[in-house]
């Protein structure tokens, strides 16, 4: 994976400078001071291979409350049985599954040499959906193999009516298919108002960019994910500051998802030795970690946000 490809991922993640609220190859090339055609080539490669399906806008824990169910095995089932079930709901955001490569100080019954599944439950402001999610999983997994992580901490910030409507309209939508004019027509406001509100939404971190990847389409790269149980890191800036002290890890991270309870970081590696070195570096910095390889993420196109 070349440096340009890595930087594309990183620009989706945290950079909130005004001109990169919606990162494009041209804008990224200007920031990196490289020829636009080099970024366009890497950008096109990501999308044309199908490895990167789309970049969606996902609600942050500033406005949404989530819970997760970790499952270490499935009874007589396959991932597609779960996918079929979550696609019929409005409250299950996505399911991640991958081969457990390493665990460290995990307080749940997670063993190596098996797959781990993580279902992300988004709760509306009116009802808790976790019980319904458990009903859905009944018969697919035994209670002994399910671990409910509990609610993530979140703070409900007061939002004005237009901001709420815009967030509800664009949450979980493709970042590159947002049309301010169409949104303005639906909400009976000006496109300039929508643009200004969108800028404020992104700068305050109410919505964050989340690339949907399909590793079945991946060729030539090795990817792994570490889920870190957050123990005191208060901001993405603090996380990056800590990662910058790790030589290989800082060079190999692509993007991360930061919440008050969990930090999920996507890395790439060239050899198994590099994978082990990255895990060793992370293990020296963080206490509780699950590292998975050969992972996939399935996003629920029907999920809705109620704020």
Q: Tens digit of pLDDT for each residue in 140-186?
A: 666 666 665 555 555 567 889 999 999 999 999 999 999 999 999 99
Which CATH number is 219-297 given?
3.30.70.920
pLDDT in tens, 189-242: 999 999 999 999 998 888 988 888 887 777 777 889 888 888 888 888 899 999
Q: Please compute the mean of the pLDDT values over residues 69-98 and round it to a whole number.
A: 71
Q: What proportion of the chain, given as a percentage, has pLDDT over 70?
A: 77
* pTM given for the model: 0.82
Would you state the pLDDT for residue 127? Answer: 47
Of 54-63, 207-216, 298-307, where does mean pLDDT reach its minimum? 298-307
Would you state the pLDDT for residue 117? Answer: 63
Residue with the larger pLDDT of the pair 7 and 108: 7
Would you state the pLDDT for residue 227? Answer: 85
Is 90 exceeded by the pLDDT of residue 249?
A: yes
Would you state the pLDDT for residue 231? Answer: 82
Residue with the larger pLDDT of the pair 103 and 149: 103
The DSSP secondary structure of the chain, one letter per residue, reads: --HHHHHHHHHHHT---GGGSS--HHHHHHHHTS-HHHHHHHHHHHHHTSSEEEEEEEE-TTT-EEEEEEES--TT--HHHHHHHHTT-SSEEEEEEEEEEEEES-SS---SSSEEEEEEEEEPSS---HHHHHHHHBTTB-GGGEEE--PPP-------HHHHHHHHHHTTSBGGG--HHHHHHHHTS-HHHHHHHHHHHHHTTSEEEEEEE-GGG--S-EEEEEEEE-SS--SHHHHHHHHTT-HHHHHHEEEEEE-SSEEEEEEEESSHHHHHHHHHHHHHH-SSEEEEEEEEEEE-TT-----
Q: Please compute the mean of the pLDDT values over residues 91-115 and round it to a whole number.
A: 73
Residue with the larger pLDDT of the pair 163 and 300: 163
Of 7-16, 29-38, 108-117, 253-262, where does mean pLDDT reach its minimum? 108-117
Q: Please compute the mean of the pLDDT values over residues 6-15 and round it to a whole number.
A: 83
Would you state the pLDDT for residue 62? Answer: 81
Would you state the pLDDT for residue 21? Answer: 86
Strand, coil or helix: 20? helix
Would you state the pLDDT for residue 280? Answer: 95
Would you state the pLDDT for residue 187? Answer: 94
Residue with the larger pLDDT of the pair 116 and 59: 59
Q: Using pLDDT thresholds of 50, 70 and 90, give the confidence band for residue 72.
A: low
């Amino acid at each position: 994976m070349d440096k340009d490809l890595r930087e594309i991922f990183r620009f989706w993640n945290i950079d909130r400078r005004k001109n990169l609220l919606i990162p494009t190859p041209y804008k990224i090339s200007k920031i990196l001071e490289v020829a636009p055609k080099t970024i366009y080539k890497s950008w096109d490669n990501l999308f044309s291979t199908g490895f990167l399906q789309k970049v969606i806008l996902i609600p942050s824990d500033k406005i949404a409350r989530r819970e997760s169910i970790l499952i270490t095995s499935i009874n007589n089932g396959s991932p597609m049985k779960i996918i079929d079930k979550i696609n019929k709901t409005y409250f299950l955001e996505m399911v991640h599954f991958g081969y457990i490569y390493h665990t460290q100080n995990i307080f749940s019954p997670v063993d190596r040499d098996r797959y781990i599944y993580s279902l992300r439950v988004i709760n509306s402001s009116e009802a808790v959906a976790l019980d319904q999610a458990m009903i859905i999983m009944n018969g697919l997994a035994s209670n002994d193999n399910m671990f409910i992580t509990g609610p993530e901490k979140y703070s409900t910030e007061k939002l004005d009516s237009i901001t709420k409507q815009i967030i509800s309209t664009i949450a979980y939508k493709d970042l590159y298919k947002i049309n301010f004019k169409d949104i303005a027509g639906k909400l009976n406001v000006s496109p300039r108002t929508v643009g200004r509100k969108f800028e404020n939404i992104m700068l305050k971190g109410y919505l964050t960019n989340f690339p949907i990847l399909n590793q079945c389409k991946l060729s030539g790269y090795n990817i792994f994910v570490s889920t870190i149980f957050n123990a005191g890191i208060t901001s993405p800036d603090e996380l990056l500051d800590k990662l910058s002290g790790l030589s290989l890890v800082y060079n190999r991270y692509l993007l991360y998802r930061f919440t008050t309870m969990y930090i999920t970081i996507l890395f790439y590696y060239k050899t198994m030795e590099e994978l082990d070195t990255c895990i060793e570096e992370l293990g020296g910095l963080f206490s509780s970690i699950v590292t998975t390889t050969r992972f996939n993420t399935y996003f629920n196109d029907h999920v809705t946000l109620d704020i």
